[in-house]
Amino acid sequence: MKNILFATLLLITGFPTNSQNAPTSNKIGSDLSRPKLVVGIVVDQMRYDYLTRFYHRYGEGGFKRMMAEGFNCKNNHFNYIPTKTGPGHASVYSGTTPKYHGIIANDWYDKETKSMVYCAGDNSVNSVGTTNSDGKMSPHRMQTTTFADENRLFTQMRGKTIGISIKDRGSILPAGHTANAAYWFTGRNEGHFISSTFYMDALPKWVEKFNKSKTVESYMKPWTTLYDTDTYVESGSDKNDFEGSFRGKETATFPYDLKELSAQNSGFDILKTTPYGNSIVTDFAIAAIKGEQLGQDNITDVLAVSYSSTDYIGHKFGVNSKEIQDTYLRLDLELERFFKFLDKEVGKDEYTVFLTADHAAVEVPAYLNSVKIPAGYLNNNQRKQDFNDFLIETYGTSDILENVSNDQIFLNREKVKELGLNLREVQEAIVYEQLSYPNVYKAYTATAMSSVNFVDGIEALLQKGFNQKRSGDVLLVNDPAFASYGHTGSTHGTGMNYDTHVPLLFFGKGIKSGQTFQKTEITDIAPTMSALLGTSFPNGAVGQPLEFVFE
């Protein structure tokens, strides 16, 4: 009886009968499960089908290792428009959309200053590591936190965060507001990684050492295919009408003598549009882990790595090019090299990686058109003239139009008021006018975006990308696969599957092996990483943790 009463008392008080035999918590978010290092990898302009299209050409240590040992979310999509680099990187790490984090494009029309602004531009800071203005950057226009910020807060700023990319926005926005540093590449005659006074007053010694080394210069060499070009049967022909080329080279065909071409292609900038740009990022990421001693204690660090050269190459050569295939086969080797380093430096079971993209891309519209798929290019000059004529005929002036950019129309609201016009009625009239133009697929007013709750379709994607203070008065959607772009190379920005469907791979500590076709969204990544780390979610996060990826 006494034993029964004692056991009952223990249940009531919550004390274990034997502290030696009490189960040890090993759940996601506990100290025992926190990885020493989280590595976020964003591959700029990576379509999901690059995983499957080139699968049999990949080695075992890169993409295939992530898929075999980790979790593959095969139906992962962006859930807003526009699908562009700045918004993409911000959304991956913040767990929310432009509606809340405010990065509505790479650059956009600022309604307060009446000028275009850049998503990472900041004239209040100065360049570090260069005398040019490439370093005048910070995350100040992003209005929410990232999961890296939340990890910094959780660890009382002891967990480090470093952002690395060829592009400034690819390193700055993921690293967040509290990052120890973000580094990006400046080309031309320098070929260095730089930063800004938002983070530091001078580059650390390990960065100076890297910049003084011959690492970047060593890649100024011919770009030939990794394997026999004729074996790249997963891609189109090497010579075709749908690819751009470097200045100084008549055809977009292998090989490319980068040293010879560099003088006509802004010096070291030419490396951005080759697979070697990705190699440079891997080199620098490895140097950062060593220099900052990331992942060397039990306080989690975050390394945000963005491979940007894939985007430059896709824009120039198109998604069906042999250049793209060679780039991804080489990137696969870069990932293998990086993972082997992490295995040795941090410990095979001590780090966690996710890999995704900031957007995908459309097949070259001219190519699609050649195989009888509806596609083409927008006649912006004619549309601009027709719209100007409409405004003058309807309102007696075109002064009510302030700006047209990023498929958005911004009105001069003071002028609208001065003319005694009703803003909503003007917006609606413009919608009906725009819908009469060729290749305008859909159009919506800011009033509708602010007052109607769209739950699915293009309308919902537009709404999640709509920021009341920053977006325009009328939002336009062009016909599928119709682009405002040159007739060579690929682009992106829409809410169609070719732009929204991107990879999502989780791999490493705390992640189980598996795959799913269940739909996931890009905004789920940051809450998932926060759940893994046991931290607060980013303050604007709308996504949900993908608990099925956890062990």
How many Cα atoms sit within 13 Å of 320 on the Cβ side? 16
Contacts of 412 (CB under 8 A, 6+ apart): 399, 400, 401, 402
Kindly state whether residues 322 and 402 are assigned to the same domain.
Answer: no
* CA 519 remoteness from chain centre: 19
Please report whether residue 485 resides in a domain.
no
Do 362 and 406 reside in the same domain of the chain?
no
Give CA–CA dist 161/176, Å, rounded.
Answer: 9
Residues 208 and 123 grouped into a single domain:
yes
Question: What per-residue confidence (pLDDT) applies to 21?
Answer: 37
Sign of CA dihedral 529, 532, 536, 541: positive
Active-site residue flag, 447: no
**Tokens 């075999």 sit on residue:** 68
Q: State residue 33's pLDDT score.
A: 78
Would residue 374 count as lying in a domain? Answer: no
| Residue 489 near residue 317, CB atoms below 8 Å | yes
Tell me the backbone φ, ψ of residue 50, rounded to 5 degrees. -65, -30
- Say what the pLDDT of residue 10 is: 36
Domain co-membership, 430 together with 459: yes
DSSP string, 241-280: SS----TT-SSS-S-EEHHHHGGGTTBGGGGGGSTHHHHH
CA distance 257 to 42: 28
169 and 137 inside one domain: yes
CA–CA distance, 244 with 21 (Å, rounded to integer): 67
Count of domains observed in the chain: 2
Tell whether 483 is covered by a domain: no
Residue from 8, 52, 83, 85 carrying the catalytic annotation? 85
pLDDT computed for residue 32 by the predictor: 52
Query: Do 455 and 531 reside in the same domain of the chain?
Result: no
127: left (phi over 0), alpha (psi -120 to 50) or beta: beta
Asked whether residue 14 is domain-assigned, the answer is: no
Residues 327 and 424 in one domain: no
User: What does pTM read for this prediction?
Assistant: 0.93
Contact 94, 539 (CB under 8 A): no
Tokens describing residue 324:
């793209």
Residue numbers of the domain that contains 332: 38-369+502-546
Spell out the per-residue pLDDT of the chain, length 551, in tens.
434 433 433 333 333 333 333 333 344 444 457 999 999 999 999 999 999 999 999 999 999 999 999 999 999 999 999 999 999 999 999 999 999 999 999 999 999 999 999 999 999 999 999 999 999 999 999 999 999 999 999 999 999 999 999 999 999 999 999 999 999 999 999 999 999 999 999 999 999 999 999 999 999 999 999 999 999 999 999 999 999 999 999 999 999 999 999 999 999 999 999 999 999 999 999 999 999 999 999 999 999 999 999 999 999 999 999 999 999 999 999 999 999 999 999 999 999 999 999 999 999 999 999 999 999 999 999 999 999 999 999 999 999 999 999 999 999 999 999 999 999 999 999 999 999 999 999 999 999 999 999 999 999 999 999 999 999 999 999 999 999 999 999 999 999 999 999 999 999 999 999 999 999 999 999 999 999 999 999 999 999 999 999 99
SS3 label, residue 510: coil
Judge if 119 and 198 occupy the same domain.
Answer: yes
Residue 459: inside a domain? yes
- At 252 the pLDDT is 97
CATH code, 530: 3.40.720.10
Helix or strand or coil: residue 511? Answer: strand
